[in-house]
Structure formats: C-alpha cells, structure tokens
Structure 1
C-alpha cells in the first residue's frame, strides 16, 4: 500500500476539498470557543478586581459618614461666658467655652483628681466641642445661666474605639486608649451618653489637623469653581476649533500639522500641563497661585484635545445632505454651520465635554505643580481664593498617619467616584436622548 495515499482515498478533488474543510471545522470551532472563554475570563477578572477595590474602599470609608458624640449636662456659667452681663457679641464669641465642657466632665467623673488623669479625661472630647457650645450660645444667649444636655463631639480615638477600629480587648500597651479612659467610655456607654450620629461635619467643614473635624466642603467648593471655569474656558474654544478644522480650514500641510499636534496633546502626561501652568500662568502672567483660576487654566489646556476630538467626530456624523440642503436654499456657509450642522452635532459635543470634565475632576498631578496642595482650612468664596480640590485633598489625607484619616480618605474617594459616575451617566443619557441615527 502506498504510504503517501490520501486519507480520503480516491475521491474527486471537490469531495477531498470539502472533506478537508469539514475536518478543520472542529478545530476552528474549538479555537473560537477558547477565544470567547479567554475574553469572558478577562472581563470577569477585571470586574473582580474592580469589585475588590470598591469593596475595600467602601469597607474602610462608610464609617466616616457617622461620628461619635458624648452627651454631657452643660452649665452655661455666666461668670465664664459673660461676666459683665452685657451680652456683647464679641464677648460671647471669645468666652472660654472649653472650660464649660471640662467642668461637665469633672462633675461626671469626680474621681479624676491628678493633673495627668484630668488631661486624659479632657481628651475624651474634641477641641471642636468649644465651637459647638459657642454656636449654641451665640444663637440663643438666653441659655446663659441654664443647664441643658448637649451632644458634644468626641475625640478621634474615642470615635475609632466606638466604631471598632481599636480593639478594646487588646492589652493596654497595644492600643491607643488607656484602661482608665476605656473605663470612662464604658461608663458613658452604660448610661447611653455615647452615640453615633450622622457626620454632617464631613460635608460642611474644611480640612483640619483633627480627623473628627476634617471635612470636604473646602475641597468640593474648590473643585466646583475649578470645573466651572474649566468648562467656561474650554467648551467655546474647543467647539470653535473643531468647527474651523472640520468645516472651514483648507486641507494643507499646516492643518495636517495642527491635527497631528491635537491628537498628540491628548496623550501628553498631565503633569506636563502642570509644569506649563507653573512656568507660563504663574511665573510669567502672575496668576495667583493655589487658586481655582490657575487650576482651571491648566485643566483647560489638558481637556481641550479631548473635547476637540469628540466635537470633530460629532460634526463628521452629521450627513452631508444637511449641508447641501441648507446651501441649496441660499444659506451661507456660516449660517449652514451655525443654524443646521452645529445644533445636530451638539449632543455629541456635550458628551465629549462631560467626559473631559470628568477627566479634569479626577486629576491631581497638574494641580500639585501649581500649589493647590496647600493646607486650606477656610472654604473658598470665589475663583481667586486659595483652595484645593477633592483629589488633592484625598492625596493629603492618605499621607496622614492618623487612623481617623484612613476612613475619611476612603469616604472622600467614595464621594469622588459618585461624582464621576453621575457625570458619566449624564453623558450616556444625553447621548441616548439626543442621538440621531441617519
């Protein structure tokens, strides 16, 4: 028998070709199934990693939306608050309110006699308790001379203990809270004088060196002013540039060079824009450092390529028949673009703009270069006030050794992710609502 004979015998050529194709089908189908499996596995693995990341962030940060308070009967002593009895606002504002809280603690635990014991006892309360009492008295001066129970802000170590971040069953040498302090806390717990309330300070306060007083209001205000100015600067320039390049610019070497540079700028590392802003806007033009204004100028440079590319794609999606019909009824080229093409392309432009703004919201590196890393306690009241932004605030808190800042870092990340999700969902909804299929 001939060893080189065909496995299909002496079939006709057409039959042998069909046989070879059929024989390879199983192999090709198996390869396709492997490819699909690998693709599905890659997607599942990516979703798993994202899920683990989100679970870790939420697990560490959800407790920051609650804060521990201690209830004490506060005697608003007139001799401490307003010895003259004139109820002068300046006198009421400068009173020694922390003394009232400390007097209430000593009355609650009279056994604390030594200086060291009293210092530890006073450490149950945050330094923000004085501001709480001051605000109550200034709002209602008739409280002076009366006694009423007040929920006062607890120190961050007490807060961590109540939330279970500090294991109270560990030996004293292995935890931050001493046995005597733990005994006082447990005595207050037994009386129902310690509770966790919703942490409004996290959304109304600026940053602070004390974790229990630190909030994101200043960073959110800075992000708002920065993004608002970025939108005002970038959107008109990007739309005008896209309209010119797509509809009016002659196709020559210069316009090709401009288009290539715009595409390349979209891939430039963001920190380069920060260096450019530092050298040009701050050092050359003298724009105030650490302000939303200079931050918006830098982010405008960074987001312009993204918005221009999206706007050009939206203009290309408008059918040529729209332009031809407008020109056919006597409209000029400018009227055709402004009255017919631009309104139809605007939904796609807005989608690209929102994506660009979401990218700008999450940027940190360029803003670090222009000084928006400064420790800003006050909430900015305008675009020229010193400010920081939410990503930079997260960066600062992440570098803090205090345990209380860990949960606030994760909580701020949750807020930032929430804004990004809302912005991307808005872009998707705009595209779905206004998109036209030609």
Structure 2
C-alpha cells in the first residue's frame, strides 16, 4: 500500500512538472508573440511618423522650387509618401472612425500631388492658387507631423503598449493607453476637419468637391434614417440600431447609424445617411472575413445584383482591387451607351460568403443626373489614329470623365498595349486632344489604375 501511495505521489509530481513546463512554454510563446506584435505596431507607427515628416518636407521644397522638372520628381515622391502613410495608418490598432479624416487628408494630398505632377509634365507652371493650396497643405501636414512626434514621445515615456488596443477590444482599455492613443488621434481629427477642400483633376474615384450636390428631397428624421439603414441590408437578421452621431458642416449633412447583430459576437455595421432625401452615403460592415472562396467574377456578380436590388440601374463595373479577403469594385453609370465616370459607386464584397461589407456612393450622389450628351465631333477612327503607332490598340468606347474646374468632357476611351504594359487613353471627342492616360495594372488581385 505504501509503495502504491509513493508511486501515485511520484506520478502526480511528474504530471505537475510536465504541466508546469508546458504552461511555462506557452507563457513564453505568448510573450514572444505579444512582443512581436508590439514591435510590428511600433514599426508601423514610426514609419507613419517618418512618412508624414517627409510629406511636410516635400511640400516645403515644392514651394521654393521653380522648375517644372524638379517639381515632377518632388510631387511623385510626395504622392508615394502619402499613400505609404495612409497604409501605415490603416495597419495601426485604432478605430477607423477615429482617423477617417486624417486618412482622407493623406489620400487627397496624394491625389493632388498626382494631378500637379501631370500638370508639370505638360510644361505648365504652378498658379498662385496652387501655391496657396500647397501652403495650407504644408501647414496641416506640419501640424500632423508635430502631433505624431509628440505622441511618439508620450508612447515612449509612458511605456504605452500599442497591442493593448487589440488584446482589450471587448474590454475596458487601460486608461493610459486609451487617453494617450485614442484621445491624441481624436484631437488630430478635430483639427483635420478644417483643412481646405482641394480643387484638382484627380482620379475618377475622387470627385471634385466644389460642385453643388445634385441631391433633392425632404428632411428625414432619425427614426426614418434607422429604417433606411435596416432596409438597405436586405436580410432577416435582428439588429440593435442606434444613432451614434450627426454631421452638419459637411458636403452631405448626415446621421451616423450603427447596427449590431444581436446573434453575433463580433462586428457591427455603420451607415452615413443623408438628412436630405435619406440616401446612403456609405456603409461599412466590420464582421470578420474568412478564407476566400469566391472569384472576382463572382464578386462582381454579387455586387451588381446588390446594386440592382438597391435601385441603382445601368451601372457598369469598371475596375477592382482585392485585399484582405475582400474585393472592392468600382461601378460607373452608363447612359446612351456612354460610361459616365463621375457617377461612381464602390461596392466591397466579402470573398468568403459573397456578402456586401462596404458601400460608398458620394460620387454618385454628388453628380448623378440625366445628361444631354452631344454627338462626338471626331470619329472613333480619327481618335484611334491619334494613338502612337507603336501601341497595339485594342478597342475604344465613349466615356465622360471629370477635368479641372468641375467640368466633364466626352472622350473616346481607348485600350492600348505597349510591349507588356496596358493603358487607357482618353481622347477628347470634340477636339481630339489627349485628356488623360492611365496605366492598367492587371494582376490576380484585380485591375488598378495609375
């Protein structure tokens, strides 16, 4: 009996020892993982600070540089720095709504830089208005840089852990982390509301902001906005629906609505719905996205079906991008067999189940109306003859694109290949001038325009 007891004690000690070793190994592994994640977040944050400092520096250089050739180099570098900073910001564990205006600022400075680079390539000099805009953007980028530098010092001094924002997603955050991180970015957001709207010939997906929105209708109540958000989802799920804020001094004064699925542990859906006419400006579903099962073709079909059910007819998929298990498809309106790129809607499709997890229609709401489209003054053959003889021209179609000064122009959109590169070339259908050239980057993730 005594030997049995001794054997049991020894076995128990061995089991406890093995359990302790396993637990200790798991503890060390978890610590190593947390350290890795923390270091990744810190690297992204320091990259963000560096890129914003370079943006401020490039804007300052451009204001004292007089040659168009040098400006092209600076604007090109500035454009990539803006897009890099935007990517860094989106990778940080910060709520999207807390940095949306900062993201938009970086995006528009990048697009503005692209437009100014094209202008300088044409041999045109920057105007007095361009310089005023540059000065304002420089001041805001300087403020953003200084704010981020101060935040960087605070993070180091108070030993703030960035990955705590992920670990405590569903719990009350540590007060130090909460105050230093979220409050700092919210303060930056408040200031970023004041930056000037840009007037430039940006990409088709970024519409000019100084035209009066073509949206008519009566004012709606909060309860009507809730109903519109619920009906937009077109499913039988039960949601808790709240109006979490309102916007006033914006292009479209709106109610911000949040819906939470009562049967789901994670994710929520946020809407911005115009107070006038009750139109959905944007929608974002934060549900977790699983492994991709659908193709881009499937995603386009799902998005188009959704638009048709939502009352958006005559929409044509133009280009797309795939990332993080989703596909974002840009749709443009089609009237009289002419693609109208200013009337744009973006739809984000989850590739695991085909659900619609994002929607943005600011371009469509701003610009959509029935147009009187004049007949082209030059023929399609004449337009094709204006393309370089070294390029392999595939086909052409009519399209309306935005230009400087809030104008629209009817063009022939020509698809052309040169060696291994693909391009869209826009030839003015009235005077035959080349209005725009975009490079098509065709890859597994979709088609991008540069």
TM over 0.5: no
Which entry has the higher C-alpha Rg, 1 or 2?
A: 1
- By relative contact order (CA 8 Å, sep 6+), the higher-ranking structure is 1
Q: Going by fraction, where is strand more abundant, 1 or 2?
A: 2
